[in-house]
Structure 1
Amino acid sequence: MNLPNKLTVLRVLMVPFFVFFMLSDVAGEGSKWIALLLFCGASFTDFLDGKIARSRNLITNFGKFMDPLADKLLVCSAMICLIPSGKLSAWFVIIIIAREFIISGFRLVASDQGVVIAASYWGKFKTVAQMVMVIVLIADLGGPFHIIGNVLIWVSLILTIVSLVDYVAKNIQVLTKGGM
């Protein structure tokens, strides 16, 4: 297993620890900050694994499949954890997760046909916007950050929808070829 793939696996392994600190008060107010550090660290591995894979020509089918899956797991877990605090509405998170299920379904159908579909630029923009949104919402610094958080929520939603439409449009042949 190459370094980028190890970083992807590390990101997946960080998720339960992140969720634990997001949902527990084991460290008092520090739980939020530990969760934030874990989320930032996991998000950084996303940037790092892609950069290393591209620069060293270490792109693998495992990475093409697992990297977006690891991102979905991290970001969706974070958004679900933000619902009880009222920082995100359940309807918003449901739309985000529905998009992820649709894309994962496309990838499974494509995989059945021997096709691996890598993440698009719209999907990458969406992921970055969602990660920044989660960071701002967890930090909860108040003042202008409250407005920034609200703007990021809407930017994330728009990018989620745009990336879904782009993904389906570019890969519709996967469904038509699959006999659907």
Structure 2
Amino acid sequence: MSEKPSEVRLRTRIWSVLRALVFVCVIFFIWNGMAKTAAAFVLVALVMGWVNLYQLRSQEIEKPYYRLWLNVVDGLLSFAVMMSIFIRDLYHSESAEKILAVGCAILLARLIAHTLFSLGVLREGKKLPQKRRWSKLANIATTVTMGVYLLDLEDYQQICMVATILLILASTVAYAYWYYRDPAHRKPLSIASQLTMSRIVLTPFFLWVFFYDNDLDYSNNSIVFKVLSLIMVLGFMLTDFLDGKLARAMGEVSTLGKYLDPFSDKISNMTIFMCFIATGYAPVWMVALIYFRESSVETLRTLAASEGLIMPARKSGKWKTALQGIGIVMILLGAIDPVRALIPGFESIWNVFPQAVMGVITGITIISGIDYFVSSKHILKKFV
């Protein structure tokens, strides 16, 4: 005989309350200096969370408002545990890790935003979305990170926290996408435009990763964040390659995409070049020339739009963007000490290597700009 829905919901609520009590015990043990016992209870909470999500499937059977407030309680307790760990570290070392503070702030911001958003959805009479894969992974990663910090596994703390932050950001983007793809809320962006927008959204995060150690000398940065910077740039390049391909393949080529794609490239690349100026990888005059070319071509594109014309991308522009990406990857790859040590004689030329690569990038960029102006003489004649 199958169980009644009310009986199943009661069991999942009891399970959720027990998990909350486990987190309360974790907080108690942290404040009493029993880190290993707290870590053991975190492991119990991890297992209970997995059972709740994948075995009991509480997200599928719970009533909307109950589900919302159970999630709020769970989020508050997770934040309380992370803050307790942060305060403990601050109390003992007088300088707790910055990324731990950032993680606590992101956890709290996510909780507040998700709660307000969910309340708005429920008041509109709409159903809450079930937790997606990214959200489930973010919750599991948060719990794992708690255990790593409690056990003082220094080699894995930063890696786990960065992974948790990225998963939280991914789950937030997924939730926002679910909301705005509903025609009742907003006209949905195409997948191609979403990929393009991701470069703009992630660019400020690249700044934080690049200057994570608050030192303008990038060579002093942690290898974890050097690798993360490289991965982000590769992600920028991949999305730049895919957005146009997907737009054409899915028949979603739009005027917005034609303008947004080059704009996002310029935002991300110019931000990276500004970082290179700060750390000494590029002289100011090179980046100034690149900026002059980019702004001039954008002005030309704006003039064309005012006449109802769309200035198509030139092959030289595509080559320019590709070579800029390759050059950036070469510099960031060379900045990773173990990689540099693998190439015989590379250490001796490293001091001039970034400037040499930036010189090539600057030359190609200027040539591309000249090509755009020569091919757009018919547009300029309307204004000169």
2:213 to 20, 25, 31: 25
Is 1:16 paired with 2:221? no
Amino acid at match of 2:196: T
When structure 1 is superposed on structure 2, of 138-147 and 79-88 the one drifting more is 138-147
* Alpha-carbon distance in structure 2 between the residues aligned to 1:50 and 1:148: 32
Amino acid at match of 2:210: M
2:381 equivalent in structure 1 = 176
> Is this contact kept in 1: 2:282–2:355, CA < 8 A?
no
* Alpha-carbon distance in structure 2 between the residues aligned to 1:156 and 1:76: 12
Q: Which structure is richer in relative contact order (CA contacts within 8 A, separation 6 or more)?
A: 1
State TM-score, norm by structure 2: 0.44
What's the CA shift string for 1:68-105, capped at 9, x where partnerless?
01001111100110112211111111111110010110
Deviation at 1:59, TM superposition (A): 1.7
Provide the identity percentage: 28
Amino acid at match of 1:34: L
Amino acid at match of 1:10: S
Is 1:158 paired with 2:363? yes
2:324 equivalent in structure 1 = 130
Amino acid at match of 2:192: P
* Alpha-carbon distance in structure 2 between the residues aligned to 1:72 and 1:111: 19
* 3-state secondary structure, aligned to 1:83: helix
Taking the TM superposition and a 5 Å limit, the aligned residue runs for 1:68-147 are 68-139=262-333, 140=335, 141-142=339-340, 143=346, 146=350
What's the CA shift string for 1:115-171, capped at 9, x where partnerless?
121321101101111111111112224318847755533332221121111100111
* Alpha-carbon distance in structure 2 between the residues aligned to 1:2 and 1:84: 36
> Is this contact kept in 1: 2:282–2:354, CA < 8 A?
no
2:185 equivalent in structure 1 = none
* Alpha-carbon distance in structure 1 between the residues aligned to 2:273 and 2:201: 17
Question: Structure 1: 5+ residue runs without aligned partners?
Answer: none
Higher radius of gyration, 1 or 2: 2
* Alpha-carbon distance in structure 2 between the residues aligned to 1:97 and 1:32: 25
> Is this contact kept in 2: 1:129–1:152, CA < 8 A?
no
2:195 equivalent in structure 1 = 7
What's the CA shift string for 1:33-67, capped at 9, x where partnerless?
22221121122100010111223332211111110
The CA RMSD measured in Å over matched residues stands at 2.1
* Alpha-carbon distance in structure 1 between the residues aligned to 2:258 and 2:312: 5
State TM-score, norm by structure 1: 0.90
* 3-state secondary structure, aligned to 2:252: coil
After the TM superposition, which parts of structure 1 deviate over 6 Å for at least 4 consecutive aligned residues? none
> Is this contact kept in 1: 2:226–2:332, CA < 8 A?
yes
> Is this contact kept in 1: 2:192–2:242, CA < 8 A?
yes
> Is this contact kept in 1: 2:317–2:368, CA < 8 A?
yes
Amino acid at match of 1:32: K
Amino acid at match of 2:364: L
Taking the TM superposition and a 5 Å limit, the aligned residue runs for 1:58-69 are 58-69=252-263
Gap change, CA 1:149 and 1:57, over 3 Å in 2: farther
Amino acid at match of 1:17: F
